[in-house]
């Protein structure tokens, strides 16, 4: 453990080893993805670190529909209806 990890940016994780219990410091998970219009939390978008996202298949990163991973389903519907009417 290094002192630079002993702050609120990292979370404490107690790990059981063969002989003792130690505290390890791990990065907090990135924030939830949010809708670009209403700021609501997006479903189907994982809270993963950029390195993990890079190794993930594209289909697991966002819903497969127009504006998937950008707008929530409600805002997507509204946007498409507006575009059709215009
Ligand atoms: Zn929305």
Percent of the chain residues past pLDDT 70, beyond the cut: 99
Short-list 32, 51, 52, 54, CA closest to 43: 32
Q: How far apart are the CA of 26 and the centre of ligand 1, in A?
A: 31
**pLDDT averaged over every residue in the chain:** 94
Distance, C-alpha 20 to centroid of its chain: 33
User: pLDDT band at 59, cuts 50/70/90?
Assistant: very high
Q: Provide the residue ranges of all domains of the chain, joining segments of one domain with +.
A: 1-29, 31-86
What pLDDT does 86 receive? 86
What pLDDT does 1 receive? 61
Whether 33 shows a pLDDT value over 90: the answer reads: yes
User: pLDDT band at 30, cuts 50/70/90?
Assistant: very high
Neighbours of ion ligand 1 (CB under 5 A): 35, 37-38, 40, 72, 75
């Amino acid at each position: 453990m290094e002192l630079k990890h002993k702050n609120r940016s990292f979370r404490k994780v107690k790990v059981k080893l063969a002989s003792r219990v130690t505290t390890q410091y791990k990065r907090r998970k990135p924030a939830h993805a949010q809708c670009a219009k209403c700021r609501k939390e997006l479903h189907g978008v994982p809270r993963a670190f950029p390195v993990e996202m890079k190794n993930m298949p594209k289909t697991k990163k966002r819903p497969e529909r127009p504006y998937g991973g950008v707008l929530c389903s409600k805002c997507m519907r509204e946007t498409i209806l507006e575009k059709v009417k215009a």
